[in-house]
Structure 1
Amino acid sequence: MEFSLMTRFIAEIMATALLIILGNGAVANVELDGTKGTKSGWLVIAFGYGLGVMIPALIFGSISGNHINPAFTIALAVSGFFPWSEVIVYIVAQLIGAIIGQLIVVLIYKPYYDLTTNVDCVFGSFSTTSNSPGPWYGFANEFVGSFILFFGALGITKAPFFADFQGSAHYGIGFLVMVLVVSVGGPTGPALNPARDLGPRLVHHFLPLKHKGSSHWDYAWVPVVAPILAGIVAVALYKGLFL
């Protein structure tokens, strides 16, 4: 079934919002003081992000393709898998969805944001920073993680193994995100997605939080540029090798 661009625009908004609610919601549950999940650990965050990709993919994958990531949209367009005329529409939808999703996270966790005095824990439930000195270690981390994500996502969705049931491929992508958070997520978070980082960072910047701290705009270019470059390389390489 073919869906109109407006329908796909709405689907991308909802899908990206759901990604942020489930992913950043898991971070808020772990990092904020006083929640039922306080200090429950990195695996909870990985599980939240893995399912935060998998669930919207199962809901919206057959409608909009469930890009939920400007880097993926741009990479697909560069390699001829997606029309350039729709790229801006998808990216705008993704940013709107990320902002809406983060506002919902803040709404449901508001009492715990007020309790949490550690500004790094507060910011961690919005966006990413690097634990390494200087931005380039973070850039390398985001590039490697994003490359694996996009190469793997295209490989899973294009694999003959899933040809008879494309929907089942979304389970694989969810597990891929989960293992990326576990295995390469330590240095930066990670973002792997410009909308997932930039949208919530804008919310953090403008929202009057009780214990706010810096929005770390000096680092903000890394989770935007690195995934885009990694996506272009990953999708082009997979196309050149296997399609």
Structure 2
Amino acid sequence: MSPFLGEVIGTMILIILGGGVVAGVVLKGTKSENGGWIVITAAWGLAVATAVYCVGQISGAHLNPAVTIGLALVGAFEWSQVAGYIVAQMLGAMIGATLVFLHYYPHFKATEDQGAKLAVFSTDPAIKHLPANFFSEVLGTFVLVLGILAIGANEFTEGLNPLIVGLLIVVIGLSLGGTTGYAINPARDLGPRIAHFLLPIPGKGSSNWSYAWIPIVGPIIGGGIGALTYAALFEGIVYSALWLFLAAFALVLLYASFIEKKHEAKGKDQPVAMAK
């Protein structure tokens, strides 16, 4: 199997199991309905571990453009392979999301809540506040990539690393995921969001494209800062790209703040409906 196909298969498995647990918890009539956040975060962690076990020896199991870019920034991955890996991750995520839809099809029909249907595919903030949402995705992915590199520097019993990475996903979800649903992976969010847009999901509603840039830009910047910070602190190598990514973080945060203020001003300008 080629590394490209390995990333397709690995990301597909990740979304089948990760999107699958969300579907089981939020869609109507499933046996795991209302299972709660602990169930979702635990399953996502196990989903990552399973996917890494499946394709780690084939592609390195990046499964995430933020990880791929972060590793390339610190010289741990060839830039010439970055685009191919990201395409593979997107394809795998779309295939995985489609399989989740087919698996839960009767439950999509039984569910009226359009937000719940979208949640199976992509993330959405608990409270929409673009600067805070962006910061949440940056911080979560910073911890993810920094943690992955730190875990890789340790010696564990053979074959245990994927499980430790899975536990890292669990703790990120439990500690930081309650704000935005912790995409921390552009392919995990964008691929299924495209699938949501294209699939004939009964009564699906909007794919919420106005928010879609947050779980793309936030993880890429956060992952880059995480990898470059690890190199600076643990290896003593300060790449010039670190300052570029910190500057990008500041600029995007300012842009998100500007958009948020415009939305707030527009909301204040809306006329108040007269009570009947």
| Pairwise same-fold verdict (TM > 0.5) | yes
1:127 counterpart residue number:
122
| 3-state DSSP of counterpart to 1:125 | helix
The residue correspondences of 1:20-169 to structure 2 (distance < 5 A) are 20-159=15-154, 161-162=155-156, 165=158, 167-169=159-161
Task: Supply the RMSD in Å over aligned alpha carbons.
Answer: 1.1
| 3-state DSSP of counterpart to 1:27 | helix
The residue correspondences of 1:208-223 to structure 2 (distance < 5 A) are 208-223=200-215
Q: What number of residue pairs does the alignment pair up?
A: 235
Amino acid in structure 2 at the alignment position of 1:230: G
TM-score normalised per structure 2: 0.83
Deviates more, 1:42-51 or 1:90-99: 42-51
Deviation readout 1:76-115 (Å, 9 max, x if unpaired): 1111110011001100000000000000000000000000
How much has 1:143 moved relative to structure 2?
0.9
- The CA distance in 2 between the partners of 1:45 and 1:133, in whole Å, is 21
| 3-state DSSP of counterpart to 1:74 | helix
Higher relative contact order structure (alpha carbons within 8 Å, sequence separation ≥ 6): 1
How much has 1:132 moved relative to structure 2?
2.0
For structure 1, the 5+ residue unaligned runs are 1-5
- The CA distance in 1 between the partners of 2:9 and 2:99, in whole Å, is 12
Deviation readout 1:136-175 (Å, 9 max, x if unpaired): 111111111111111001100122x33x73x311111100
2:256 counterpart residue number:
none
Amino acid in structure 2 at the alignment position of 1:150: V
TM-score normalised per structure 1: 0.94
Which of 182, 191, 204 is residue 174 of structure 2 equivalent to? 182
| 3-state DSSP of counterpart to 2:58 | coil
Which of 160, 178, 186 is residue 194 of structure 1 equivalent to? 186
- Percent of aligned pairs with the same residue? 45
1:3 counterpart residue number:
none
2:269 counterpart residue number:
none
The answer to whether 1:206 aligns with 2:206 is no
Amino acid in structure 1 at the alignment position of 2:107: Y
- The CA distance in 1 between the partners of 2:185 and 2:65, in whole Å, is 7
1:225 counterpart residue number:
217
For structure 2, the 5+ residue unaligned runs are 236-276
| 3-state DSSP of counterpart to 1:197 | helix
How much has 1:189 moved relative to structure 2?
0.8
Amino acid in structure 2 at the alignment position of 1:75: G
1:18 counterpart residue number:
13
